[in-house]
Structure 1
């Protein structure tokens, strides 16, 4: 009897573990694959209505009009994608994905370290590949994420991760791609608990800007010295001043953006503006300095009473038409909402640009901004086989239905906790109905 009870308990534990475990990452591509007859959206503005896409050893070998080429497909695995759509994998920048699991549980929030100037703090080593949030991004076509830090003036150094890996080393797609700077705020929100109704001026603004300037000056001096004690903070800033890494600068208000550009451009060759809520009002400065912009959360209300209600939807198109390189992202305490990034692009497509241009804002434009366009962002020969196949329009929440996802040629699972729980309880209740 005791043995039976023990066996029963072990069975329950193993059964639950099977549902609770995160699925193992996909193995490396072992055979060449050909995707036939899909409508291919290349991510560079081009569309091939009846395409053939082949890839082997994780790299795209051919993207062509299937009616105009002849290819010997002996030994290939064939995927008939007639009536479906093929896209480059979507890229999610500026996210805490993999650094937080439950927003309300402090122990699961690993995106913020103590200190104010911490460029030497790297998100890569804190990235949790077993996060249950990661597979939910793949549902909608997101395959790569720039995992970024948060909090402090110099927040830390981000890395770009691919979303199917055993550990953080395997997940690395581009290690330590950039340092993140939170430009000082001009004002703070009203403290409602103290009865305040108006925003408060940041009286420390000038001193905080001087702190950033001093760090840049110290780094420049540190680079010029031939010997001396190693400084981890300045050491981490050196690649930024050399142009080996980008500086991602978070700023929203016009004065913030102007002072950030004027200050930083004296020292840093590669700068990306993030946030950018009021970037339209300083667009000439952005164009003059050839600064790309990562716009956050187009699904929001305007920040100014005089702006149109659809201002945030139109802003990406307005900047694009001015010749500014624009990418889209989602930054919020609700990490799970980041899966809606393709639908941000879908909204933008309804307000001033066509769908292929909107697609670029979450694929090739973002790849260019992050400095990985030599590896991904478009469906082109020689690039990584980061390919998504959907039954419908990837940018339309009504028809987005991803059926295949290949990251570097590996076919990754589209299952997650939601599907496992569905199957678990479906089996339970279907059994009761028989």
Structure 2
């Protein structure tokens, strides 16, 4: 118990940096190579930021900007829209081994009324490790059960979850059953049909039928779970469905059609490329599983995880990258490098950037304000000394969320400075 208490005190001691104040002075960024996030680039850009919004983005060779309060020279540097991490549990778990700091799932099978945003901790130390790599927004999503709960989208520089919200209750997460079961371990797996698959699908359909009947009928007796399903039919909420295999994804398409669901997104979707045409025809997007992963089958192309996004993009499917899985919160900082890997395996660099910017914003329904550097959108962006999709060169010098210049300090940067000073001091002593 003493050890756990010490761990909690340690993490509290290194809490997140103080959130930046609201923008009050206009800012002009000049000379940078602007990657707009929509596939376009401006080599010698001028970007005006006023009252938290992008007043204009233009070619510095074609226009002379007006007077601003603050000027930032980005010559030789690169400017990007803030990256977005979908299907994330940032802020829901701090220390995996400490149950009191783990709030990513609830008991029960059908929990659409469980709102992950309530448990979101803005002072998570892990969150501040993602910001220095350009991740400024995240979809905070629940785990567990058949219907896990409702997600919300936040910006990662806030005092509390109320201040952090970008879009509240944006979608419901459903864990689709698998059509087979696996046992026997990784070395000698035994794959068998899931005998309860049809029964599990029926349970899902019954729940949707019952919730629709409630929402269209007498609501004198309030049901919070069914109330949380409101919005799926009219498209004001998305339905995010965790699924991997071809058979399950085909069944999801039929489910979408039967229930007249406008906005459905496959989460994971490792074998979605096998039915890409079907997904395109039915306007179903994909949040593709972590790119830096091993193949799922021993007899498939070992490089498939790297190529997967390109196959889907080439088929016209709206694709973005997600990061769920082992050590998912700590791995969030690697999101831009997943996009970089996709670029290395065939997707043009600016199109790969869209996998973590505008495509993600479109899927999450926040593209009117985020995801690209365009006039009228939120000034959520950063300046990097190099290629933000390359871990060797992505060194961020300035960063903004809604026009507020945020701190890029973290526990890691504090340690770096501390020990850099220590070894510098020791070196001077040896020289003397």
Q: TM-score range by the shorter chain?
A: over 0.9
Deviation at 1:90, TM superposition (A): 0.4
Please report the TM-score for the alignment, with normalisation by the length of structure 2. Answer: 0.92
What's the offset of the Cα at 1:344? 0.6
Mapped to 2, the partners of 1:70 and 1:181 lie a distance apart of: 51
Structure 1, residues 48-105: CA drift from partner, whole Å, max 9, x if none? 00000011110000100001101122x4200001100000000000011110111222
1:405 is the counterpart of 2:402: no
What is the CA–CA distance in structure 1 between the aligned matches of 2:372 and 2:35, rounded to whole Å? Answer: 9
Determine helix, strand or coil for the equivalent of 1:189. Answer: strand
The equivalent residue for 1:98 is: 91
2:276 paired with 1:283: yes
Task: Please list, as runs of the form range in 1=range in 2, the aligned pairs for 1:64-213 lying within 5 A after superposition.
Answer: 64-73=58-67, 75-192=68-185, 197-213=189-205
Q: How does 1:28-427 map to 2 (within 5 A)?
A: 28-73=22-67, 75-192=68-185, 197-267=189-259, 268-334=261-327, 335-426=329-420
Q: Which runs of 5+ in 1 are unaligned?
A: 1-15
Partner of 2:202, secondary structure, is helix
Tell me if structure 1 keeps the 8 A contact 2:46–2:65.
no
In structure 2, C-alpha distance between the alignment counterparts of 1:422 and 1:323, rounded to whole Å: 44
- Partner of 2:391, secondary structure, is coil
Deviation at 1:281, TM superposition (A): 1.2
Offset at 1:208? 0.9
- Superposed displacement of residue 107, structure 1: 2.0
| C-alpha contact (below 8 Å) 1:90/1:144 kept by paired residues | yes
Provide structure 2 residue ranges, at least 5 long, that are not aligned to the other structure.
1-9
Alpha-carbon RMSD: 2.0
1:309-352 superposed Cα distances (whole Å, 9 cap, x missing partner): 21121111111111111111111230211211101111111122
> Whole-Å Cα distance in 1 between the matches of residues 165 and 184 of structure 2?
41
**Cα gap change, 1:122 to 1:178, in 2 (>3 Å):** same
Q: Look up the match of 2:5.
A: none
For normalisation by structure 1, the TM-score amounts to 0.92
Q: Are the structure 2 counterparts of residues 98 and 386 from structure 1 closer, same or farther at C-alpha, using a change threshold of 3 Å? A: same
